[in-house]
Amino acid sequence: MTGRVHARLAELNLVLPKPVAPVANYVPFVISGSLVFVSGQVTIGPNGLEYVGIVGKDFDIEQGKLAARLCALNIIGQLNIATHENLDRVKRIVKVTGFVNAVPGFSQHPEVINGASDLFVEVFGDAGRHARAAVGAGSLPRNVAVEVEAIAELA
C-alpha cells in the first residue's frame, strides 16, 4: 500500500478499516466501465457498530458528522479493495448520497453529511469534490445514525 493517497491517509493518521462482508443479498461495490458504485456504508468501526441511535435525540450534529466521516472512511476502504490497494486510481469522487437517521423535523442533514464530504476532500483533494444528496430517514439498518453511498471514477 503505497502511493499518494495512502501517504495522505498516513499523514491524517487514518487507518483504513478492513471492509466487512455484506449482511444481505448484495455486493459491496460494482465496477461498470470506469465507475465504481460503492454500496451504502454504515458506522462500523474497529469494535463493531458505532453511532447507533438517532441524530437530534441520541447524537448532536457534531457527533452526526463524526458518524458520516466513519461511513466515508469505510467507503475509502471499499475503494481500496476495488482498486487492488491502489487508491491513486481514484480519479474523482463523483456522487455521494448520505442518509441521516434523524428525529422528525430535523433539517440539518447537509451539515451532518459534511462529515463525509469533508473527509473525501481531505483525502483526495479536489478529486474528492462531488455532487451530493443529504436525506433524512425515519430509520436506518441496525438503527445506525448515518449511512453513506458513493460513486467514484477510476483512472
pLDDT tens, per residue, the chain with 155 residues:
679 999 999 999 999 998 888 889 999 999 999 999 999 999 999 989 999 999 999 999 999 999 999 999 999 999 999 999 999 999 999 999 999 999 999 999 999 999 999 999 999 999 999 999 999 999 999 999 999 999 999 99
Q: What is the pLDDT of residue 1?
A: 65
Backbone angles phi, psi at 78, to 5 degrees: -65, -40
SS3 131: strand
Q: What is the pLDDT of residue 103?
A: 98
pTM of the model: 0.97
CA gap 15, 109 in Å, rounded:
26
Q: What is the pLDDT of residue 87?
A: 98
CA gap 73, 76 in Å, rounded:
5
CA gap 50, 145 in Å, rounded:
9
From residue 127, alpha-carbon distances to 29, 80, 120, 121 in Å are 19, 16, 8, 7
DSSP 106: -
Q: What is the pLDDT of residues 87-121, one digit of tens each?
A: 999 999 999 999 999 999 999 999 999 999 999 99
Dump strand ranges (E) for 6-129: 29-32, 35-41, 44-45, 48-49, 90-101
Spell out the domain ranges in the chain: 4-154
Name the strand (E) or helix (H) holding 6.
helix 4-11
- The CATH class of the 4-154 domain is alpha beta
